[in-house]
Structures are given as C-alpha cells and as structure tokens.
Chains A and B, each alone.
Chain A
Amino acid sequence: GAGVSQSPSNKVTEKGKDVELRCDPISGHTALYWYRQRLGQGLEFLIYFQGNSAPDKSGLPSDRFSAERTGESVSTLTIQRTQQEDSAVYLCASSMTSGRSSTDTQYFGPGTRLTVL
C-alpha cells in the first residue's frame, strides 16, 4: 500500500517568508509525528498528533512553528518568518496505534528539504 507522502519534496524560500509543508499519513494510522533533521545530525522531535487529543507541541523550537491535523488525515507544518537556521529536512511519520506503546513502529515519509536563503 501507499506509504507516508510529503510535499513538496524540496522548497527554497527567502528569509522572512512563510512556508507550509504537507504530510499525508498512511490511511488508518491514528498517530502522526513531525521531526526536523539538520544536515549531518539526528532527528529532532517537533510535534505529535493522536486522534482528537490535544497535540504534544513540546518539541516546537519557537512560536514561528505551528502544525495542524484534520482528524486522522493530512497534516500541515507551517513556519512563519523563516530564518536561515530553519534550513533542514522536515520528516513526517505515522503509526497505526497511539505511539504510546514501547513497541509501536513509526513509518516515515521521504521528507521535505527546506532551504532558507
């Protein structure tokens, strides 16, 4: 079946502009996650959605970052007034269950490479 998809695959923007990144999770997956990966680094957790529960936003680095998810479908990550340090690959993942079990597996999309000039 179809995996997690993300769009756009690449985004180049100018400093100060807003960008919106999209994630389509695997159908039926209730949990959705956003991560950031800077060049040569590991992944940083950003935000977690589970069903209709309040999202865990504890990983968002500043109030310029926000994310939404409608039900158990598409999610968008918005970065306002982009800065050069926002340049990174933004990865989305989904999992079949809540993600709160130690055995849950996350399925990742290919990521969106964001470059802020």
Chain B
Amino acid sequence: DAKTTQPNSMESNEEEPVHLPCNHSTISGTDYIHWYRQLPSQGPEYVIHGLTSNVNNRMASLAIAEDRKSSTLILHRATLRDAAVYYCIYASGGSNYKLTFGKGTLLTVNP
C-alpha cells in the first residue's frame, strides 16, 4: 500500500493561512500526490493534485518538496467551512484507482 504520514490533528483561526504537511518518502517518480478532504457526514471531495511543480487552484495551493518526499497543502485563508479531515494520498504499482486513505489530519478552525 502507498504510505503517507500526516499529523492527526491541527488547529487554525479563521482568516489565517493553514499549512497541512504530508510525508511520502516511498513515492516513485511518476506518482501524483492527491489531496482530498472529508467534511462531517459527507464523502471525501477532491482538493488538488500535483507531480513536481507547485500547483494552485481555487480551493488551495500544493507545495511539493524538490525531492518529492513531502508536500504541504496550503489554505490561504481558513474559513469555518474548511473544518474537515484532510487526506494526502498517492497510488502506485499500476493500481492507481486503489486510493489508500489513512486517518488524515483533522483540521479545526476557530472563529
């Protein structure tokens, strides 16, 4: 299984930036890093993905280390609606559809 390591929980204040770290030391050169998040009582939703370069979309930014062994999801201004479990994942070995979600990081946003 593709293994990533994330902190169990993090806290942020509303309107402040949040940096969610992820370690993926066994990732291969062709595996994309994906981030999903799961709001309470909902299924996971896609946030962002990247390979080597930093990526930006309307939801977040993804900063990928030069050696690709770690990445950071950046929420530029946290809102209360961003409170969720954030999962960092990748699939490898030709079974890219078998996404392995660990326990993720529970993000709490304080008003």
Contact = CB atoms under 8 A, between A and B. Distances in A.
Interface string B90-102: 1100111111111
Interface residues of B, number: 25
A108 interface: yes
B46 A101 contact: no
A45 B95 CA distance: 11
Contact of A107 (B46, B49, B90, B103): B46
B49 A105 contact: yes
A103 B45 CA distance: 15
Contacts of B32: 102-103
Contacts of B43: 4, 91, 93, 108-111
A66 interface: no
Contacts of B46: 105-107
A14 interface: no
B31 interface: yes
Interface string B28-48: 001110100000011111100
Interface in B56-111: 87, 90-91, 94-104
A99 B44 contact: no
Nearest to A107: B46
Contacts of B87: 42
B96 A43 contact: no
A33 interface: yes
Interface in A1-23: 4
A107 B42 CA distance: 12
B5 to A, nearest CB: 13
Contacts of A102: 30-32, 90-91, 96
Interface of B: 30-32, 34, 41-46, 49, 87, 90-91, 94-104
A-B pairs with the 5 shortest C-beta distances? A108-B43, A99-B97, A43-B101, A42-B101, A102-B32
Interface of A: 4, 31, 33, 35, 40-43, 45, 48, 50, 56, 59, 91, 93, 95, 98-111
